Amino acid sequence: MSRGSPAFARMRRALLDGVRRIPEGRVVEAAQMGEALNIPARHVAYMLSQLAPEEAELVPWHRVIPADGDFGKADRRTARQIVQVARLSAEGLTLQDGRRLTLRPDLRWEPDDTHRGTFWAEEP
């Protein structure tokens, strides 16, 4: 599905609408968000990585985290992951052993699954 396709635009809009609803201090795994939208987690991660700087300031993309809250070793993080960890820390969420966010139930956010059955290539 090309980046400029109507289906991609609908997926992206649904993703950003969902991400905007994640409350401060709460997180959701990319796979869980993808499942709710009926798209692969890698698509979720890709779309969020491609936000324009202005969008990245308005959308709390940093609350969508990797599987099991694992950010990997600090010396191997990308610049974006460094920013993500800093933003989560500013919301009171810290990594255990500098690597993994402990995903207590009170930190998890459950996305709406209104798109779980959506086939994005179909015309609306």
pLDDT in tens, 74-96: 889 999 999 999 999 999 998 98
SS3 64: strand
pLDDT in tens, 15-39: 999 999 999 999 999 999 999 999 9
Structural domain spans, the chain? 6-104
pLDDT in tens, 99-114: 999 888 999 999 987 7
The CA angle 92-96-102, to the nearest 5 degrees, is: 70
Q: What is the DSSP string of 93-117?
A: --EETTTEE---GGGB-----TTTT
CATH 3.30.1330.10 fits 6-104, yes or no: no
Token pair listed for 113: 């699954």
* Inter-residue contact 19 to 33 (CB < 8 Å): yes
49-63, 67-81, 108-122: range with lowest mean pLDDT: 108-122
pLDDT in tens, 1-15: 445 788 889 999 999
